[in-house]
Structure 1
Amino acid sequence: MAHPALPTLLVVHDQGSASPLRILSAARGLCRVVFLCEREHPSLATELRQIAGHAKVADITDLGETEVCRLAESLEPAGVVTFSEHRLRLTAAVAEHCGLRFHSRETAAALTDKYLQRKALSESGVQRTGCALVRHPDQAASALALVGTPAVLKPRHGAGSVDTCLVASADECRSQLAEFAGEAQRDFVLEEYLRGDPGQTGPGRGDYVSVESLIVDGEPRTVAVTGKPPLVPPFRETGHVLPAAVPPTLATDVIRLEQAAVRALGIRHGATHTEVKLTTDGPKIIEVNGRLGGFVAEIVQRHTGYDMVAAVLRLALGFPVAAPQPAPRCGDRVAFQYLLIPPGGLLRPGPPSLLQGLAELPGIDLVEVSPPDAWYTDWRRGTTGAIGVLYGSVSTHAELGTLLEQLQHRLGRFWRGTQVRSPTWVGRSIRWTNSSEFPRL
């Protein structure tokens, strides 16, 4: 338990980019953490049990915004932060009520509403991207007339590419809307499709990057430009690569665009994760996220030694942060993460033993896989449908490309359900590792 003399930091917690254990590790000697969350929520219960006795948990189950703000105020916080997309607006409300540093309510709204964000970027002159609101299938034709085809259909509010796909006609758009909406009425947006230029990064690589930044009193500080392996259709992200395989001039253009977007959205404090498409017309904003990106802290710290979670906590408390320009920890090597994302369609994956051999491939340090009862193959779950993560490093981007080809070949057998001997599973996950040096972050 943290010393009572330390300042109190509220973490409005939900599924996101930092676990409670990771947050407590970064907070050691810095602050006393109180988690505001739904204590018995099924997706949070296990990780909250892991911190029992090490941090206070304030239960906000069934509380409205006003009640949460009053509870937060009673805890006499020195700062508030969230690592969850789903809690940005609530955190902004707490910050306003308690007079703490975080996104304003207006900024939090633009960061969590894809339509408002496109409108703000357009009105500021940063980037004009066709975008139309759509809820009912009967609105598909008129929305596509504004945006053009093909277009990207996605929820107005959401993350992880859930229910996100490409549509090429009004009929296809109507069909997808009907499937996505079901009985629930949800708002969607149709966005102009930003066509990537594979020549910007080379074969076997994703045609987009992300920029990881810390925002200090309205000024963005770039931590990293992160490369990507190719997407799994329709738009499911498969990991991160550091450093990105882009020339310095292109990286400069990407950062310049990202910083203009950050300022246009009024972001003053905290971390941002901005996805940027590399097109023949130059870099284009896919979206700006007002929090630390998923898996980003791990690969940044593994590659450079810089602790973004600790930096986010310090910013929330109003403490100075070190300049995010550390020397690479792993020298000239290329660090990567690769998510095991099921392909589309109804598949019956093979037994877990088919994944065990992945750890034997040169460059892979750790294979972390969920137990089979947690596997799903529905593409609509987006990135959240990953069944595992591979971590490692190689000497060059070309070597990584070769490794990814080998991975995709082996995973193809697994997704087709090739039958071999199945290993014994222990606990909630299994790790196969080649290296005792892998940092457990």
Structure 2
Amino acid sequence: MAASVYLAAGKATDSVTHGFLPAAARLALDVTLLTDRPPAHAGTHDGPIVECDVTDFREIVAAVGDEPAAIFSNSDFLQAPTALAASYFGLPAKEWRAATRAKNKALMRRHLASIDPVFSADARHVPPDAPYPLVLKPREGVASEDVFLVQDALELATRVDEIAARRDDPLVAEEYLPGRLHTLETLGDGRELRVLGSFRTTLSPPPFFVEERLEWAAPPPETPQILEQLHALGIGFGACHTEFVVHEGRARIIEVNYRLIGDHCDFLLADLLGMPLFEQILTVHLGGRLDDWHGAGERHAIAEPVIADRSGTLTAAPGSLRLDYGPVRLAYRPQRAVGDAVAVTRTNRDYLGTVRAIGPGPDEVNAALARFRAAHDWTIT
């Protein structure tokens, strides 16, 4: 009898639709999709789709049948309720307090204060002596949405009012941390935490924080400092995507996303490492051990989104593609379809699609990316 897995999801994502669900099929798992948005997942899953308030662990528990083998989510917002539901059934799970700390940026700063103190305050109650510039952001936000660098109290108040007109969730203002931006990708099985690798991230000019490119690189020498901070947060099970800066020998966390890296970098990571990444994550949630894999070797990789430069309607764009440019293997997956309305937000939501390239070195990969972009059009009218 196949193991019964419950996958909790909010909006439909490529990570779930093209990553975890096919991986579950390859593992011969019976998957029930729990979601508060069934229409968004119509046609993405051959198994049961059950409507459920997945933000409430009690509703997840009520929706789960007898003898589940795993309860899992790859959503930022659903890590804590999923962890609580899995714990209710005695299943392998992330520690719910750690998931809560990772999601809530104010709690994260408070918990790490003895290791790495960073100024953080409710955005409506920032003291006059705050160390400007500050980064204003939603306390539990994602995708660089409504994240701004503000230079003084007047700009802070203006931005807070502007954001409050769009959303009513809490905002925080944090000390701006200078340095080179990196990611750390980790995977744990409850016995060991393994570093999968690291990307260097290029951001748009301030005051915005749009991720414009992620380039594979060896984890910086300061990485043990980040692992120490993750340990202090209680993070060590399943996939985790951490963003941090390094400045003058000091590594400092920007934010922790207690799930797999997104924006198609998860597919790039799986290809680069030559491992069944999605299956491995599901396996640890089933109580299995981490497998050995050979790693990236000497290869280089870049993920580069195509970013909308104006609002309008997308009238021309390529579909999904896989190409070889000499020794470089390139893949493109759209995030917007022709006919979609596009509104520029200066966030990661402006991505029209992402180009992923893997090759022997930076020169070859960059040349292939340039050739691909020159050969295709993305037209917004």
1:129 to 118, 137, 158: 118
Match for 1:286: what amino acid? Answer: I
TM-score, length-scaled by structure 2? 0.86
1:92–1:103 contact (8 Å) kept in structure 2: yes
Q: Take 2:246 and 2:239, find their aligned partners in 1: how far apart are those partners?
A: 22
Runs ≥4 in structure 1, deviation > 3 angstroms?
A: 61-65, 229-233, 346-351, 353-356, 359-364, 366-369, 398-411
Partner of 2:316: 352
Partner of 1:94: 85
Matched, 1:145 2:145: no
Q: Take 1:70 and 1:36, find their aligned partners in 2: how far apart are those partners?
A: 11
Match for 1:31: what amino acid? Answer: L
Match for 1:119: what amino acid? Answer: R
Deviates more, 1:393-402 or 1:332-341: 393-402
Partner of 1:56: 48
2:34 to 36, 49, 54: 36
Partner of 1:237: 211
Partner of 1:13: 9
Match for 1:291: what amino acid? Answer: R
* CA deviation after TM superposition for structure 1 residue 166, in Å: 0.5
Corresponding residue SS for 1:387 = strand
Q: Take 2:27 and 2:54, find their aligned partners in 1: how far apart are those partners?
A: 33
* CA deviation after TM superposition for structure 1 residue 301, in Å: 1.7
2:226–2:252 contact (8 Å) kept in structure 1: no
Q: Take 1:64 and 1:211, find their aligned partners in 2: how far apart are those partners?
A: 29
1:274–1:287 contact (8 Å) kept in structure 2: yes
Corresponding residue SS for 1:251 = coil
TM-score, length-scaled by structure 1? 0.75
Q: Take 2:314 and 2:45, find their aligned partners in 1: how far apart are those partners?
A: 35
Matched, 1:224 2:197: yes
2:304 to 291, 316, 338: 338
Partner of 1:426: none
1:300–1:307 contact (8 Å) kept in structure 2: no
Corresponding residue SS for 1:373 = coil
1:133–1:143 contact (8 Å) kept in structure 2: no
Matched, 1:307 2:237: no
Match for 1:14: what amino acid? Answer: G
Q: Take 1:63 and 1:259, find their aligned partners in 2: how far apart are those partners?
A: 28
The two structures, once aligned, show a CA RMSD in angstroms of 3.3
1:288 to 241, 253, 256: 256
Q: Take 2:135 and 2:341, find their aligned partners in 1: how far apart are those partners?
A: 26
Partner of 1:22: 19
Mark the runs of 5 or more structure 2 residues left unpaired by the alignment.
none
Q: Take 2:54 and 2:270, find their aligned partners in 1: how far apart are those partners?
A: 37
Match for 1:26: what amino acid? Answer: A
Alignment of 1:352-431 (within 5 A): 352=316, 365-369=330-334, 370-380=336-346, 382-400=347-365
Mark the runs of 5 or more structure 1 residues left unpaired by the alignment.
197-206, 420-441
Corresponding residue SS for 2:201 = coil
Distance change (3 Å), C-alpha of 1:351 and 1:283: same
Distance change (3 Å), C-alpha of 1:215 and 1:361: closer
1:355–1:414 contact (8 Å) kept in structure 2: no
More strand by share: 2
Q: Percent identity?
A: 22
Matched, 1:267 2:241: no
* CA deviation after TM superposition for structure 1 residue 394, in Å: 4.0
Q: Deviations over 1:116-163 (max 9, x none)?
A: 01111223x1x22111112x4xx3xx34633x1111110001211111
More helix by share: 1
Match for 1:308: what amino acid? Answer: L
Matched, 1:277 2:245: yes
Deviates more, 1:402-411 or 1:84-93: 402-411
CA radius of gyration, larger in: 1
Corresponding residue SS for 1:320 = coil
Q: Take 1:349 and 1:39, find their aligned partners in 2: how far apart are those partners?
A: 25
Distance change (3 Å), C-alpha of 1:162 and 1:316: same
* CA deviation after TM superposition for structure 1 residue 347, in Å: 4.8
1:297–1:307 contact (8 Å) kept in structure 2: no
Q: Take 1:289 and 1:11, find their aligned partners in 2: how far apart are those partners?
A: 18
Match for 2:286: what amino acid? Answer: L
1:17–1:84 contact (8 Å) kept in structure 2: no
Match for 1:213: what amino acid? Answer: T
